[in-house]
Amino acid sequence: MANPVLSQERFHNEEAAFAYVEAELWPNGPVCPHCGNADGARIGRLQGRRSKPSKVHPEGVVQIGLRKCYECRQQFSVRKGTIFEDSHLPLRLWLQAIYLLCSSKKGISTRQLQRILGCGMKTAWHLGHRIRHAMAPGSTGPLGGAGKVVEADETELARSRKTRKPEGFRRKTHNPVVMSLVERGGNIRSQTLDHRGAMSVVRRNVHPDSTLATDQAQHYKFPPVADHQTVDHSKFEWTRGIAHTNTLEGFFSVLKRGLVGVYQHVDKKHLDRYLAEFDFRQNTRVALGIDDVERTRRAVRGMAGKRLTYRDSYAP
C-alpha cells in the first residue's frame, strides 16, 4: 500500500516542491540572500529563464523559482544559502529524501536512498550527510535548570560480544565512545567523547542548578551541579527514586540498532552527523505530539544557512 504522504504533489511536482520550501523558509515573503532585502516590491519573479546549456541539456532547462533583487541586482532562488545550493538533484527528490530520513526511526542507508531516488551512490551519500548536517542544532543553551533532572551516560560503539567473530579477530581498544545528555521530558544531546572526558561535557552542557542522574562511574564524581543522584549497575540497581539512566538506555538501543543494522559501518569522522540525525528524531518524537509530516517540516526549516560541500563532508 502506497504511503499517502509520499503521494502528495510536492514530492512529484517541482513547482509544488518549490512552493512548499518557500512557504517554510520565507513565511513573510522572499528574502534576498545576497543583500538581505525583504521588500516584496523590490523583488521580482523571473519566468521562463533557462540554465546554461550542457551535454545533458543542450538547450538548458527552465529554472523554477528564480527571482531577482532590484536592490543588489542579483538573481536567486530559495535554494541559495541552504543545503540545496549547487545541487543538480530536483527539489522534489530532496523532499522525498528528507521525509524518508525523518520518518525512519533507525535511519535509511545510502544504497536504499540511491534505489528510491534513482540517483548515483555518491549523490545519495552526500545528500544524506547534508540533511544530517542541517539536523544538527545551532546555538544551544544548557540543559536542565532548577527543579529539572538531566541524565548522563555513555556507550561504546563496538562489535557485539554475541556476534560471531572471524578467525584471528582482535577486539579494538579504541572504539568510539558516545556520551549523551537528556533533560527529562526535554531534549537529548549526543557527541563523541574526546580526550577531555565526560566531565567537560557536563560542564559545557548542564545547568549548574540541575539534578544530575548517572551511574557510579568514577568520572562522574564531584559534578558541578546542585544535586547528584546515582544508581549502582554493578549491584543490579537500575532505579532508585529519580535516579536512573533508563531514558538514555532506550535511546542507545535505537542508536546502536541504526548504526549496526542500517548503516553497518560509520567512520568516526562522520559520527557526529549521524548522532545529530538520531538526536533530531528523538527530540521531535511522537510522544511530544510531533508526527512525520511536522518533523519533516521542522527539518526543512533548519536547512537555511547550512551548507556542506562534498569536499568538506568527505574530508578527514
pLDDT of residue 316: 46
pLDDT at 180 over 50: yes
**Of the ranges 143-147, 166-170, 196-200, which is most confident?**
143-147
Instruction: DSSP letter for 30, please.
Output: -
pLDDT of residue 244: 93
Largest CA distance in the chain: 73
Q: Which class is domain 149-283?
A: alpha beta
Average pLDDT over residues 134-138: 87
User: Assign residue 63 a region: left if phi > 0, alpha if psi is -120 to 50, beta otherwise?
Assistant: beta
d(CA 208, CA 187) in angstroms, rounded, equals 17
Average pLDDT over residues 57-82: 86
Sole residue written with cell 568527505: 314
**pTM of structure:** 0.89
Q: What is the mean pLDDT of the chain?
A: 89
State which amino acid sits at residue 120. Answer: G
Give me the helices (H) in 136-230, please. Answer: 198-205
DSSP line for 191-220 = EE--TT-HHHHHHHHB-TTSEEEEE--GGG
Sole residue written with cell 545528500: 127
Query: Which residues, listed in sequence order, are joined to residue 240 by a DSSP beta bridge?
Result: 243
pLDDT at 80 over 90: yes
d(CA 235, CA 247) in angstroms, rounded, equals 19
